[in-house]
Structure 1
């Protein structure tokens, strides 16, 4: 038998701090549960156990607390956000068929130790999953510890067996208790011997095996007088510490190992609880289904309508529907996402499934459906726009895109699907099952069921949209934007692949040059990309000052290397090597992989990815093309207009600061922008109390950092790091700024207060972001929430404005029947590809529409440029 033992509190705690704070729509915290379930799933896949034991600690004091009052006395209580999740994960594990085990007077470690001892005695294999190194003492012939750890900011599991322990500690696993007896353990407040550290403890136990041998003849051991004196003085503490550190492997557990074989999952209960927790991805991973039952905390259950599945043509159903609302959902081909495998259409109480055949007739049938006068509901209209625009048709009278509605109502969610939304909003639909439905393939039946849910789901979501006053945000911004994004994705951006390939070869030469310089300065060859090897070279071989060594080695991240600038020539070489290597692998190689057959890159724009409302792009991420370095900015030179066309590029000038001026109503900022003054020089003049004429470039640079930092709730320490001044001086700049720009100060205070009172923050256009962090019991999380509260209305409103501008530009190009096309948006920048004879017209159009996108107390300013390449047009 193979037994997997979970140190459940340890894993839950690690998940809580490793996953950003998440809540359901009703405010239930879920991040620890979500992380725990993902860790559990990975462990089950890796170990493939026959039995699973989930050990938990109890609140009651253990025998160790009774023995020593100081045991774990320094530990703070469990955060309320985590405590709320503890009973839920226990209920969920039991519903999933796993046995939970606790024992008053003992810790989970003792339960794990007892179960592993049973496995050792009976010849079974035991795997202990934990984040606590105390369990390493349990390693044996049949016991392996799966130790959760972090490496380079990423979670990983280290498989710890006897050879691992011997290599790391130089002794056998059981003697970990002797090592702790001497050096103590600050995390558990085990005292150890005063003055004896890890190095000495490892040396002594490596030589003598245990503390009993050491204390049997203290004078005879190989140690300095000072060490012997410390050991003598700390004898009682050593033996007490050993007892505290020893896991009790004789807990009176009356269960046999076979009692931990998982029972059949209570699928309905598991489905119901996961639905309440809005964990649709976990439901999908588990492959379960069920009927959603509203909780006491939820809304009252809605009446579930029934829809009949009938066999009709789309034209017949549409004729019968008249001008009534129609729901439709498309099943896209998995290998070709432009090809329709099936379409479900629902009108009234009837629903049909249609498998289109290739050819003009089938296309015309669907085009007529999409262009009909009927109000329509669907899920993910952008994919539909892709199909219809490529065929010269239109999607008319779209009343709701359920994906976008769900996003607006819960921007913090990690995913949106119809089944999960029905559970979350307590709605759904029943299908009157016909014999033909039972014979359908699973994907067809699922498509029908999901389509049947669209109308009642629309009703539920629309109700919430109305309550939040988000109708205009949905109807006038997000839904029209789907068409714009589909068009941009379809047209793409031409790339000079030959020039990009040559650029890549040049980067390869630079990489090799930097590599040789690094080897020369290090005096040896090594793997520069290996943090372990690089750390050894920098901090052991070259003797550079290292920050504290972690369990996985020295940190060599960018912050550490930046702090070492000036200490050795090799640091600058390594930083440059990394920059060039990233350019080559991420951008050159990455871009060449995704160039289409038409020579253009067709990036995917995600409309529901960010909490602030900003767009993101993938495959590739064109919003992340580096521009701050000369070498990186040259990448834009490989993006070009097609033959006979020119790129017209317009960029909002300081839009976030202009939004801040409007929202805060600060008279100084408003005056500066409306008089077309340089805002950073103006700010410097105010902060440093001098005429603008005497502001130096250095003063302007510092004022610029304050201007942009304020938008993100920057603190004195971060500002001091950014501009290279003392914390006190940075603090003085911030205070001077807020004293001068009192409107901004009031905005920041009022916004935080609003978030604390309402639990969310919103933009000028009603876009909301839930802020569970603002009411956290953890000070650091609260401070993060305050920064988000101050920044979201600014960044989110700027995102809304650029979306409005995109819609206006797109529609104006269509209205004036121009050949020019909007092809890219990058944050505050829009790019149009225009035939040469339309360039001047497009320049004026682009600037007019961007500047007219919002009416603020300050002027919106868009700077326009042109060029054959993106680099030239900027």
Structure 2
């Protein structure tokens, strides 16, 4: 038989430090547990043992501590973030049927040694898994050691048998402890022999094999006299060190393999704990089956009938009688392929647009998953979708930092059973080839339960208004925007790409001439050699793969040599060519428009993001980047109206912090950056220079993002003392802002989350961390999330109001793009002025704050003209 034995503390410890700190929404630390479990799964897959024992240390002195008071005296206690994880790990392992082993007075290493020795006596195979090389002394004919660690979040396991130990260390496994007797072990405070390090200890044992032989023949050994004297002086310490470092094989624990055969899994309890730890993917891989307890025994059967080719008239009649719909779509891109309608215990599968339109035409309130995609499907039918609950958006509001919002993930998280089996009804011969695909539709049978749970949680979090009045209506707006797209001039994009290619070639030749030879500018290694070896630029940062040529490194060298500026220009031009010109040409649709995807569940602050392509990322900071906006155009007969909020985040800050000075400045229509500069630099506003205003602007916006003196000093190229003085003077003048900063952190610590004025939350377990950097991050987020999140909420409200009013007033103008605080409407020329006034009015009245919201709107034939 084969026994797998794990050193629990060692593997947990290495997992904890090998994975960045992870927490659940409620603040449970989980990175160590997660790493441990991935190592355990990897080991079990590779070893496939008959039994598994997991040994843990006890928080009590061992015989080693009693023998030597200095043993492990330099060890600090477990970090609180790790200590919190140990009970949950042990509980989870127990629920999964594993046998945990401890013994007072001994360490986990000794339990490993005892079980390994017992296997050897029986000629059973034993695989020891640990992160500690001390266990290599246990390797033998029947015992192997797998050194396990977690690196970059991934489990890594290295096998050591007798041959591997001999090849790597030049000694037999039992001789490993003889080396430790001489060199000691600083991590465990084992003294060894003073003056003898790893190299000397290794050479002595390779030649003489044991400290017994060395001390029995000390006078005859062929060694330097100084070495002989060190050995003589350290004789007692060497024997003590060997005693401390020798792993015991006689611990009074059970050694029968049968006692470690994995027991029955307590499925329900294990599933509940893993959900609490938010190990949803791991829960899937463990395949614990359907473990959700049902309050009603009649509900315990989670088999579902999947009805293919239903009688649509009969189905619509039933749905109309219910007065409510549960809908879910299967999509390919934006295209609806199948519509699942959940009714009672059955899922009805509709596969033709005619059938979908019949259901949409019922105009019944519905619960669904990802309503934006359904809105796209409804668009062509002219019907109206009345969304009551979107499970995807509800889940996002409840946990905006989750890694996944997949339907299966959410069912696991909220304890909703997925169907255990699917029985197709109305099966036809042509359906047989696609049964796997069709059966997957049966999962939607759980949609009513999931929506019910999410509605309850949303209500308890006081987020019903946020969901129903902002997020869900916005999904319809985003669907319209995706459908509309943005017209582009493909020929001019291609021509500009050619211009950029020529500019990149010219810059490359210039760089080659400055350096003195040709090389691949896109190779960091070759560029690093050119800059730091050939040109000898200072302050280079070398990594394992060569010199770092990151943007941050080059920015610091910008003024040390003209070639650095050329390289930065080359990178800018090359990126514009490849990412934007070439990239945009690839995604132009047959209607000569670009149809980006807008995402509501990507960011943690509530901002909308854009992908495929990301139109929110079109460069604007450089003249050469801004040129790209010339190629985004209005369709014939139309113009673009671009409206941008003025300093919305600062206005939200003034309102939220209730700072009198900032409120007065905004109400009076002052230039807030000039007014701030006057206060920070202690001078009349008319004497504020453009540089002073620019620096005050950096402080204003930096405060919103929780900037510190160090970051501000780098941004403004000033000393840290100057930056600190700027921030100090700023907070002294805007004392309400200072009070707000402190209040937000304290409230977030008490509640466990930061919150906007509209009820959007971000949970902040980082605030409880003992790690200074992590805690500081949590404090920064607690200060700036309510501001950034509220600004995101306001622009969403504005989008809803603009779209609704355009429709209400019978205008053909339509919203086609949102970029952070900016909205773009495409309008027929005859409607332009009306639409412009409407857009500006709705943006400025999207929220009632203690300061006015200001939006500036302009009209142009291109995005560039409308933004100018």
Corresponding residue number in structure 1 for 2:464: 471
Q: Quick check: 1:329 aligned with 2:327?
A: yes
Contact 1:603–1:620 (Cα < 8 Å) also in 2: yes
Q: How does 1:254-653 map to 2 (within 5 A)?
A: 255=255, 267-293=267-293, 313-320=311-318, 322=320, 324-333=322-331, 335=332, 338-346=335-343, 350-358=344-352, 360=354, 362-369=355-362, 372=363, 374-396=364-386, 398-416=387-405, 421=410, 447-448=441-442, 450-451=444-445, 453-454=447-448, 456-501=449-494, 557-560=550-553, 562-563=555-556, 583=576, 586-587=579-580, 590-653=583-646
* CA-CA distance at 1:691 after TM superposition: 0.8
Q: How does 1:103-122 map to 2 (within 5 A)?
A: none
CA deviations on 1:423-447 (whole Å, 9 max, x unpaired) are 6556779999989599996766665
Of the candidates 743, 756, 759, which is equivalent to residue 763 of structure 1? 756
Tell me the distance in 1 between the aligned counterparts of 2:706 and 2:290.
Answer: 45
Tell me the distance in 2 between the aligned counterparts of 1:217 and 1:572.
Answer: 69
Tell me the distance in 1 between the aligned counterparts of 2:489 and 2:222.
Answer: 77
Tell me the distance in 2 between the aligned counterparts of 1:190 and 1:650.
Answer: 70
Tell me the distance in 2 between the aligned counterparts of 1:826 and 1:351.
Answer: 44
Contact 2:817–2:824 (Cα < 8 Å) also in 1: yes
CA deviations on 1:327-363 (whole Å, 9 max, x unpaired) are 3122415x465233242233xxx35433324354x24
CA deviations on 1:260-307 (whole Å, 9 max, x unpaired) are 77667554443333234343333334444323249xxxxx99996999
Q: Which runs of 5+ in 1 are unaligned?
A: 295-299
Corresponding residue number in structure 2 for 1:22: 23
* CA-CA distance at 1:678 after TM superposition: 1.8
Tell me the distance in 2 between the aligned counterparts of 1:53 and 1:551.
Answer: 39
Tell me the distance in 2 between the aligned counterparts of 1:390 and 1:650.
Answer: 29
- CA gap 1:178/1:551 in 2 versus in 1, 3 angstroms: farther
Contact 2:674–2:688 (Cα < 8 Å) also in 1: yes
* CA-CA distance at 1:181 after TM superposition: 8.6
CA deviations on 1:50-78 (whole Å, 9 max, x unpaired) are 87665544433456555655555444433
Tell me the distance in 2 between the aligned counterparts of 1:411 and 1:38.
Answer: 25
- CA gap 1:435/1:679 in 2 versus in 1, 3 angstroms: closer
Contact 1:283–1:289 (Cα < 8 Å) also in 2: no
Q: How does 1:58-73 map to 2 (within 5 A)?
A: 58-62=58-62, 65-66=65-66, 69-73=69-73
CA deviations on 1:446-478 (whole Å, 9 max, x unpaired) are 655644551x54444334433433232122111
- CA gap 1:36/1:828 in 2 versus in 1, 3 angstroms: farther
Of the candidates 718, 727, 733, which is equivalent to residue 740 of structure 1? 733
* CA-CA distance at 1:732 after TM superposition: 2.0
* CA-CA distance at 1:754 after TM superposition: 1.4
Q: Quick check: 1:863 aligned with 2:848?
A: no
* CA-CA distance at 1:616 after TM superposition: 2.2
Tell me the distance in 1 between the aligned counterparts of 2:103 and 2:500.
Answer: 62
Question: Residue 339 of structure 1 aligns to a residue in which SS?
Answer: strand
**Deviates most, 745-754 or 521-530:** 521-530
Corresponding residue number in structure 2 for 1:78: 78
Contact 1:56–1:107 (Cα < 8 Å) also in 2: yes
* CA-CA distance at 1:765 after TM superposition: 0.9
Contact 1:382–1:486 (Cα < 8 Å) also in 2: yes
Question: Residue 852 of structure 2 aligns to a residue in which SS?
Answer: coil
- CA gap 1:436/1:633 in 2 versus in 1, 3 angstroms: same
CA deviations on 1:780-810 (whole Å, 9 max, x unpaired) are 3332222111111101110100100111121
- CA gap 1:70/1:309 in 2 versus in 1, 3 angstroms: same
Contact 1:669–1:741 (Cα < 8 Å) also in 2: yes
**Deviates most, 432-441 or 741-750:** 432-441
Corresponding residue number in structure 1 for 2:844: 851
Contact 1:304–1:430 (Cα < 8 Å) also in 2: no
CA deviations on 1:817-844 (whole Å, 9 max, x unpaired) are 3333222212111122333443333322
Structure ID, larger Rg: 2
- CA gap 1:555/1:63 in 2 versus in 1, 3 angstroms: farther
* CA-CA distance at 1:481 after TM superposition: 0.5
* CA-CA distance at 1:651 after TM superposition: 1.6
Corresponding residue number in structure 2 for 1:33: 33
Contact 1:4–1:49 (Cα < 8 Å) also in 2: yes
Tell me the distance in 1 between the aligned counterparts of 2:451 and 2:20.
Answer: 31
Of the candidates 744, 760, 764, which is equivalent to residue 751 of structure 1? 744
- CA gap 1:777/1:546 in 2 versus in 1, 3 angstroms: same
Q: Which runs of 5+ in 2 are unaligned?
A: none
Contact 1:673–1:858 (Cα < 8 Å) also in 2: yes
* CA-CA distance at 1:857 after TM superposition: 1.4
Of the candidates 133, 141, 151, which is equivalent to residue 149 of structure 1? 151
Tell me the distance in 1 between the aligned counterparts of 2:460 and 2:501.
Answer: 57
Tell me the distance in 1 between the aligned counterparts of 2:580 and 2:47.
Answer: 38
Contact 1:19–1:35 (Cα < 8 Å) also in 2: no
Tell me the distance in 1 between the aligned counterparts of 2:734 and 2:472.
Answer: 37
CA deviations on 1:848-869 (whole Å, 9 max, x unpaired) are 2111111111111122234444
* CA-CA distance at 1:523 after TM superposition: 8.2
Tell me the distance in 1 between the aligned counterparts of 2:462 and 2:782.
Answer: 20
* CA-CA distance at 1:661 after TM superposition: 0.6
* CA-CA distance at 1:388 after TM superposition: 0.2
TM-score, normalised with respect to structure 1: 0.80
* CA-CA distance at 1:210 after TM superposition: 8.3
- CA gap 1:433/1:595 in 2 versus in 1, 3 angstroms: closer
Question: Residue 462 of structure 1 aligns to a residue in which SS?
Answer: helix
- CA gap 1:688/1:155 in 2 versus in 1, 3 angstroms: farther
- CA gap 1:176/1:325 in 2 versus in 1, 3 angstroms: farther
Contact 1:9–1:57 (Cα < 8 Å) also in 2: yes
Q: Quick check: 1:840 aligned with 2:837?
A: no
Tell me the distance in 2 between the aligned counterparts of 1:554 and 1:66.
Answer: 51
Question: Residue 23 of structure 1 aligns to a residue in which SS?
Answer: coil
Contact 1:314–1:345 (Cα < 8 Å) also in 2: no
* CA-CA distance at 1:709 after TM superposition: 1.8
Number of paired residues?
A: 848
Of the candidates 796, 804, 810, which is equivalent to residue 789 of structure 2? 796
* CA-CA distance at 1:663 after TM superposition: 0.9
Contact 1:720–1:727 (Cα < 8 Å) also in 2: yes
Corresponding residue number in structure 1 for 2:818: 825
When the two chains are superposed, the root-mean-square deviation of aligned CA atoms in Å is 5.2
- CA gap 1:112/1:681 in 2 versus in 1, 3 angstroms: farther
TM-score, normalised with respect to structure 2: 0.80
Corresponding residue number in structure 2 for 1:685: 678
Question: Residue 93 of structure 2 aligns to a residue in which SS?
Answer: helix
Question: Residue 824 of structure 1 aligns to a residue in which SS?
Answer: strand
Tell me the distance in 1 between the aligned counterparts of 2:662 and 2:63.
Answer: 65
- CA gap 1:128/1:868 in 2 versus in 1, 3 angstroms: farther
Q: How does 1:666-815 map to 2 (within 5 A)?
A: 666-815=659-808
Corresponding residue number in structure 1 for 2:93: 93
Tell me the distance in 2 between the aligned counterparts of 1:160 and 1:562.
Answer: 45
Contact 1:162–1:172 (Cα < 8 Å) also in 2: no
Question: Residue 78 of structure 1 aligns to a residue in which SS?
Answer: coil
Contact 2:25–2:765 (Cα < 8 Å) also in 1: no
Question: Residue 328 of structure 2 aligns to a residue in which SS?
Answer: strand
